[in-house]
Amino acid sequence: MQTRTRDIVILIAGLAVLASVVLGGYAAVRARAEGTGATQVLAPVPRITPAPSGTAEPQYERWTVGVARRPLTVYRRADASSPVITKLPMQTSADYPMVVLVDSVKTVGDRVWYRVWVPIRPNETRGWIREGHIALYSTTSKIVIDLSERTLSVYRRGVLAKQFPVAVGKPGLATPTGSYYITQKLRPADPNGVYGVLQLGTSAFQPKLNDWPDGGQVGIHGTNEPWLIGKAVSHGCVRMKNKDVKVVSRLVPTGSPVEIVK
């Protein structure tokens, strides 16, 4: 998942308010999640141009995240007359700002369109959103989850920053592989509960759990059973030690890509 080339620099002003709230069913907690920050400054989308002959290419990846400024209509093509894939509200079901991860950008006529990953079934769904409906910021952080090794690795500016042991989905309810992103950061009301001190939502869904809260969304979260870390025991979510998930949250902004591999 990489931000594609576009021919102009988009200068964005303002703040994306990323308040921490609780997972559905818990009482709302408006205090900011530890280490995440309540807001993120919106950064310009970088201009990516061919490197002059004899010079080095950029040494790290950079991705663009969109924050909904109004309800979003996601089209199958970069054309307002094409079929609508989905409509997204400005907030998630937990009242967290709706974010999407930009895949590519193109201009059709006099209008700019963004192709984005969206947090719906089926997994890895992408569609097109018109310019003016999202505010943008950038991230150089990425999560890679290796199901075979049962590890979660955080990369920043292309360099491995931290690696942690995790628990993953059990046989029959495996954590789905693919390309996703962090959709929200939630603090459960009970830090001693099954979600631990913090949950990072992802755009992935466990295919067999349609009737679960939030449609079976796969989370990266803490746990009250740390002795199970390193095993395949969950219903598709990725469990971490509470101290580890707080470190991941500090290193990885909302909207950052998540690659889940076997």
Question: Which residue ranges form the domains of the chain, and what is each CATH number?
Answer: 15-47+58-139 (2.30.30.40), 141-261 (2.40.440.10)
Residue 230 pLDDT greater than 80, yes or no? yes
Report the run of H or E that residue 247 belongs to, with start and end: helix 242-251
Residue of 221, 239, 241, 246 marked catalytic = 221
Poorest-confidence range of 45-49, 208-212, 218-222?
45-49
Average pLDDT over residues 9-26: 34
Instruction: Note the pLDDT tens digit of each residue in 23-36.
Output: 333 322 222 233 33
Amino acid at site 5? T
Strand order of the β-sheet with 63-68 is 84-88, 72-75, 126-130, 111-117, 99-108, 63-68, 134-139
pLDDT of residue 60: 78
User: Across-strand partners of 261?
Assistant: 146
Q: What are phi and psi of 210, to 5 degrees?
A: -60, -30
Q: Per-residue pLDDT averaged across 60-85, rounded?
A: 96
Residue 221 designated active-site: yes
Q: Does residue 212 carry a pLDDT above 80?
A: no
pLDDT at 12: 34
DSSP character for 248? H
User: What average pLDDT does range 116-143 have in this prediction?
Assistant: 96
